[in-house]
């Protein structure tokens, strides 16, 4: 073995070995893939787009060959071979090539594992259990009062409470009705809480021109939003300051309770009368006045909301600060028996990524423990030697 061969990394024979490896690797991959898609109907890749990462192998091959050429040149520029012989035992071309072949094959296996090959289709049925919940939100002008938390209107806090409530729900369907002097269905019943929150953000007091607070009309619209022929339990959640000017809400709550619909109420406001701010183009321009030009004050009508909850066999609570005091409402809704709202059938596949992941880790471990430094046994190997 000449000193020159000890301190140079063969390029030509390494390229030949690399080409042989590539032919074997791609031949096995293509043949296996063709067999699977022809004979295994349920075979698929869960993430087929990740297979494009196999193209990185070409860049790895170019980088490896380029690195061998650079190292040879760098060593020649460093010192004469006779000098290097005293400070370095030399390289093993065989080990150097094997190390890269192990790494390159492991990379290919990791890419295939990440695409997650699957086969063995199974059909599963999943039942979604919950209740139908219609949320009636008061958007009358009085809901603009800021008497619970500074710089937060009653409506702001009510919308915040609804968002927090949705975070507590699991499998229930929700819908939204907004009301003032009239009632309007903002969102029909849906299991998609994300969509419900998007609709919630768009709610404002300018959505209904007819002012006042008609809770009874809101309850009737919520009831008409239910499919009363479906064998599902139902609930209505009313968020209002309770200043009902129509006084039909208790009767409507009784009628709903007779049809096994639970009604819960959340009071928005305080007992202290506060002015109702008036906004124009997002800026406060004053407070609401009556015909005598006196400032209109608003406060919560808690007794009315309690009566509605009692008539509806539900629970009443009052929002307190940003905490909103929702636990009683959540507990009452959770006490309602969940029924099957939807049955879905879907196909599942058995993951087979482990058959590629485990060998990849083994190859990477072997690559890690193999050293390029030349040993006495390397003189017996002529493969990859120039």
What is the model's pLDDT at position 385? 44
What is the model's pLDDT at position 344? 62
pLDDT by residue (tens digit) across 108-125? 999 999 999 887 766 666
Query: Nearest CA to 197 among 154, 223, 160, 144?
Result: 160
What is the model's pLDDT at position 382? 45
**If 0-12 CB within 10 Å is exposed, 13-18 middle and 19+ buried, where does residue 177 land?**
buried
What is the model's pLDDT at position 351? 85
pLDDT band for position 384 (cuts 50, 70, 90): very low
pLDDT beyond 50 at 2: no
Query: Nearest CA to 83 among 137, 171, 7?
Result: 7
pLDDT band for position 380 (cuts 50, 70, 90): very low
Beta-strand runs (E) in 139-182: 173-179
What is the model's pLDDT at position 123? 65
What is the model's pLDDT at position 374? 57
pLDDT band for position 212 (cuts 50, 70, 90): confident
The more confidently predicted of residues 379 and 174 is: 174
Residues 6+ apart with CB under 8 A from 117: 36, 43, 44, 45, 46, 352, 353, 355, 356
Query: Nearest CA to 157 among 45, 318, 20?
Result: 318
Count of CB atoms situated within 10 Å of the CB of 321: 10
What is the model's pLDDT at position 326? 87
pLDDT by residue (tens digit) across 312-357? 999 999 998 887 788 899 999 989 988 876 666 656 678 889 999 9
Average pLDDT value over all residues in the chain = 84
Beta bridge partners of 152: 149
- Tell me the mean pLDDT in the region 218-232: 91
What is the model's pLDDT at position 303? 93
**If 0-12 CB within 10 Å is exposed, 13-18 middle and 19+ buried, where does residue 69 land?**
exposed
What is the model's pLDDT at position 17? 84
What is the model's pLDDT at position 312? 95
| Angstrom distance (rounded) from CA 209 to CA 63 | 71
Expressed in angstroms, the distance from the first to the final Cα of the chain is 10
302-311 and 249-258 helices, crossing angle to 10°: 20
pLDDT by residue (tens digit) across 149-166? 988 999 999 999 999 999
pLDDT by residue (tens digit) across 22-44? 899 899 989 988 888 888 777 88
Count of CB atoms situated within 10 Å of the CB of 12: 9
Taken in order of first residue, the domains within the chain and their CATH numbers are: 3-116+352-380 (no CATH), 127-343 (3.40.50.410)
pLDDT beyond 50 at 381: no
The more confidently predicted of residues 386 and 273 is: 273
pLDDT beyond 90 at 187: yes
SS (H, E, C) 350-372: EECCHHHHHHHHHHHHHHHHCCC
pLDDT by residue (tens digit) across 8-26? 556 777 788 888 888 998 9
């Amino acid at each position: 073995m000449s000193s020159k061969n000890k301190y140079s990394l063969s390029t030509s024979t390494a390229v030949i070995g690399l080409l042989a490896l590539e032919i074997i690797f791609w031949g096995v991959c293509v043949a296996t893939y063709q067999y699977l898609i022809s004979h295994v109907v349920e075979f698929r890749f869960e993430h087929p787009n990740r297979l494009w990462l196999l193209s990185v192998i070409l860049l790895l091959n170019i980088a490896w060959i380029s690195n061998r050429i650079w190292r040879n040149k760098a060593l020649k520029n460093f010192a004469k071979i006779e000098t290097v012989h005293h400070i370095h035992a030399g390289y093993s071309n065989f080990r150097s090539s094997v190390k890269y072949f192990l790494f390159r094959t492991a990379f290919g296996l990791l890419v295939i594992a990440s695409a997650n090959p699957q086969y063995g289709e199974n059909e599963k049925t999943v039942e979604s259990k919950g209740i139908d919940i219609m949320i009636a939100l008061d958007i009358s002008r009085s809901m603009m009062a800021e008497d619970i938390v500074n710089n937060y209107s009653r409506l702001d806090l009510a919308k915040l409470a609804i968002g927090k409530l949705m975070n507590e729900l699991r499998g229930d369907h929700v819908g939204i009705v907004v009301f003032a002097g009239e009632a309007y269905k903002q969102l029909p019943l849906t299991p998609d809480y994300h969509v419900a929150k998007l609709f919630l953000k768009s709610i404002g007091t300018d959505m209904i021109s007819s002012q006042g607070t008609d809770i009874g009309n809101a309850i009737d619209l919520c009831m008409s939003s239910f499919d009363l022929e479906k064998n599902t339990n139902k609930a209505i959640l009313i968020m209002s300051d309770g200043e009902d000017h129509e006084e039909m809400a208790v009767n409507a709550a009784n009628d709903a309770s007779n049809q096994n619909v639970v009604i819960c109420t959340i009071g928005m406001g305080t007992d202290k009368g506060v002015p109702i701010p008036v906004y124009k183009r997002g800026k406060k321009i004053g407070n609401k006045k009556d015909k005598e030009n006196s400032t209109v004050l608003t406060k919560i009508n808690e007794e009315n909301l309690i009566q509605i909850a009692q008539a509806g066999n539900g629970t009443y609570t009052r929002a307190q600060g940003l905490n909103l005091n929702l636990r009683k409402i959540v507990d009452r809704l959770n006490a309602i028996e969940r029924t099957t709202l939807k049955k879905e059938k879907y196909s599942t596949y058995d993951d087979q990524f482990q058959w590629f992941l485990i060998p990849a880790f083994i190859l990477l471990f072997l690559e890690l423990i193999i050293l390029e430094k030349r040993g006495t046994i390397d003189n017996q190997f002529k493969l990859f030697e120039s």
